[in-house]
DNA sequence: TCTGGGGTCCTAGGACCC
DNA sequence: TCTGGGGTCCTAGGACCC
């Protein structure tokens, strides 16, 4: 049934940068960076001409400019990316109903059910690439193989703008000479650990004993990598996986942790997170905050509530307590003497705050109004719960009609600190 | 001259239960 | 007198992916 190379991995090449080159012909053939500038910020995506100079997504703009002096920085048309990517996904959907979209610009397809209608996988893949180029105007690479892992590696090898089909009889021959870094789950740390054992290629990895890998990388990573190196990949192409957490973060540069800054930032983040939870009809019991200090070291603090939250104000309050716990720990203020260390607290310098909600459950439209004691941030769901819920609902409605900035708990309190545009945040949500 | 934003999963110790 | 074993939840940190 799945003996042939019927799993396809389709991946748009340097997606954001390719869109910019599509929209502005003057950028074609030139090194382009979306986001950042030569003075600062971060590069979100680089064209292949820029990648040739070593420029990568996530890289500070000043470094990218140093690597590639002729680099063109563009701000990005974030409002266009989603629509163009959706057009591509619609073309993929014509090849098979079994499409698993894994990000805005990338998807797995299982074409085993449609080869009798559309021809062999290589023909289907070629047709997809032609249509995406002709109808959308973007380059896309496709890998075809017997498993998801092989198909993904094949599309990486095919880039840019190529097609690689791995015939089952030639899997070992294809895989053995490739660097381990191409494998799913091997990042910089794991690659270095493997290199320390003289393991650089997938072939060398395949010849290493499972127990050696388990000792080196831990049980899960060890067994998974061993199986993948031996072409054992049981994962199927599935659609519709529910999110397990919802979060948001905000980089702050380097700022003193004043009560005003912390409250304004957390209010903004809680509004985003709680609003998205309500839009999904979900709520969560575990609230996580992350505090990153100047110098990039970061800590997390969690709290699991008795009842799930999706109210903006409640989430803000819980997050605020957790953030001050973390900062007090950082400043060495003992638990019993919180509030006495204002000067020491204020000396803390933070560079990022984040809120995430997990342990998600379906939230019923009507919350029970329980006759409980006064509001306690650690115990949401009390009398204040339904009042807050009503306020949030009406704010959601105003935003839906007049835009995200139309109303908020803390509208102007947070001056922008050169972060990424909100359009980009919405893209990254990929709901 | 500084380092974005959205996620998933794993490890490991301790609490607690049966 | 001596001290099993498994399961689940919570918390903190970290690797990895797009």
Is the pLDDT confidence value at A287 over 70?
A: yes
State whether the beta carbon of A378 lies below 7 angstroms from any atom of strand C.
Answer: no
The residue among A364 and A35 whose pLDDT is bigger is A35
State whether the beta carbon of A359 lies below 7 angstroms from any atom of strand C.
Answer: yes
Whole-number distance in Å between A213 CA and C5 C1': 28
From first CA to last CA, the distance across chain A in angstroms is 32
Binding residue per annotation — A105?
A: yes
CA distances from A170 to A7, A95, A144, A403 (A): 16, 25, 13, 54
The answer to whether residues A359 and A244 touch, using CB atoms and an 8 Å cutoff, is: no
CA distances from A141 to A23, A32, A87, A115, A224 (A): 20, 20, 16, 20, 26
Within A 256-285, residues with CB less than 7 Å from strand C: 285
Is the pLDDT confidence value at A406 over 90?
A: no
Q: What percent of chain A has pLDDT over 70?
A: 88
What value does the mean pLDDT of chain A take? 89
The residue among A331 and A407 whose pLDDT is bigger is A331
Query: In this predicted structure, what is the pLDDT of residue A424?
Result: 81
The answer to whether residues A331 and A341 touch, using CB atoms and an 8 Å cutoff, is: yes
The residue among A417 and A342 whose pLDDT is bigger is A342
Within A 166-185, residues with CB less than 7 Å from strand C: 183-185
Query: In this predicted structure, what is the pLDDT of residue A295?
Result: 87
* pLDDT tens-digit map of A60-118: 999 999 999 999 999 999 989 999 999 999 999 999 999 999 999 999 999 999 999 99
Whole-number distance in Å between A217 CA and B12 C1': 14
* pLDDT tens-digit map of A124-166: 999 999 999 999 999 999 999 999 999 999 999 999 999 999 9
Whole-number distance in Å between A123 CA and C9 C1': 51
Within A 94-113, residues with CB less than 7 Å from strand C: 102-106
Residue with tokens 């496709």: A142
| Binding residues for strand B (Cβ < 7 Å) | A 39-42, 44, 57-58, 60, 62, 218-221, 243-251, 253-254, 272, 276, 295-296, 351-352, 354, 356, 358, 418-420, 424-425, 428-429
Binding residue per annotation — A328?
A: no
Query: What residue ranges define each of the domains in chain A, with the CATH number in brackets?
Result: 176-229 (1.10.150.20), 245-429 (3.30.1490.100)
* pLDDT tens-digit map of A325-349: 999 988 887 766 666 666 667 778 9
The answer to whether residues A97 and A50 touch, using CB atoms and an 8 Å cutoff, is: no
Q: Which residue has the least CA–C1' distance to nucleotide C18? A: A103
* A9 phi-psi bin (left φ>0, alpha ψ -120 to 50, beta other): beta
φ and ψ at residue A329, rounded to 5 degrees: -60, -45
Query: In this predicted structure, what is the pLDDT of residue A2?
Result: 53
Cβ neighbours, 10 Å, residue A31: 22
* pLDDT tens-digit map of A217-243: 999 999 999 999 999 999 999 987 889
Task: Give strand B nucleotides closer than 7 A to any protein Cβ.
Answer: 1-12
């Amino acid at each position: 049934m799945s003996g042939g190379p019927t799993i396809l991995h389709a991946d748009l090449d340097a997606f954001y940068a390719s869109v910019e080159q599509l929209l502005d012909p003057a950028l074609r053939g030139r090194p382009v960076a979306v986001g950042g500038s030569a003075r600062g910020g971060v590069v979100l995506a680089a064209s292949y001409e820029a990648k040739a100079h070593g420029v990568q997504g996530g890289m500070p703009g000043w470094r990218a400019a140093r690597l590639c002096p002729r680099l063109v920085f563009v701000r990005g048309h974030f409002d266009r990316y989603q629509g163009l990517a959706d057009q591509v996904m619609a073309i993929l959907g014509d090849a098979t109903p079994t499409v698993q979209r894994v990000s805005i610009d990338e998807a797995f397809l299982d074409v085993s059910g449609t080869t009798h209608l559309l021809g062999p996988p290589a023909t289907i893949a070629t047709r997809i690439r032609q249509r995406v180029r002709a109808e959308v105007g973007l380059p896309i690479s496709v890998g075809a193989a017997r498993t998801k892992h092989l198909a993904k590696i094949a599309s990486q090898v095919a880039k840019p703008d190529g097609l690689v089909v791995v015939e089952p009889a030639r899997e070992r021959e294809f895989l053995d000479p490739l660097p381990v870094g191409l494998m799913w789950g091997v990042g910089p740390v794991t690659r270095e650990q493997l290199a320390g054992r003289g393991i650089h290629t997938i072939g060398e990895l395949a010849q290493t004993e499972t127990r050696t890998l388990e000792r080196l990388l831990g049980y899960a990573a060890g067994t998974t990598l061993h199986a993948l190196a031996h072409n054992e990949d049981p994962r199927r192409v599935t659609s519709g996986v529910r999110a397990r957490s919802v979060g948001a973060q905000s980089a702050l540069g380097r700022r003193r942790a004043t009560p005003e800054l912390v409250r304004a930032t957390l209010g903004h983040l809680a509004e985003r997170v709680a609003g998205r939870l309500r839009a999904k009809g979900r709520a969560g019991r575990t609230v996580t905050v992350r505090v990153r200090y100047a110098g990039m070291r970061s800590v997390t603090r969690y709290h699991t509530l008795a009842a799930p939250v999706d109210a903006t104000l409640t989430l803000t309050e819980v997050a605020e307590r957790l953030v001050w716990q973390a900062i007090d720990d950082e400043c060495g203020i003992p638990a019993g003497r919180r509030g006495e260390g204002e000067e020491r607290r204020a000396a803390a310098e933070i560079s990022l705050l984040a809120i995430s909600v997990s342990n998600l459950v379906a939230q019923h439209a009507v919350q029970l109004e329980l006759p409980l004691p006064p509001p306690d941030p650690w115990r949401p769901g009390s009398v204040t719960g339904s009042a807050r819920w009503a306020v949030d609902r009406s704010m959601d409605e105003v935003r839906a009609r007049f835009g995200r900035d139309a109303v908020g708990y803390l509208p102007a309190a947070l001056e922008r600190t050169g972060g990424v545009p909100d359009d980009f945040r919405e893209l990254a949500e990929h709901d």
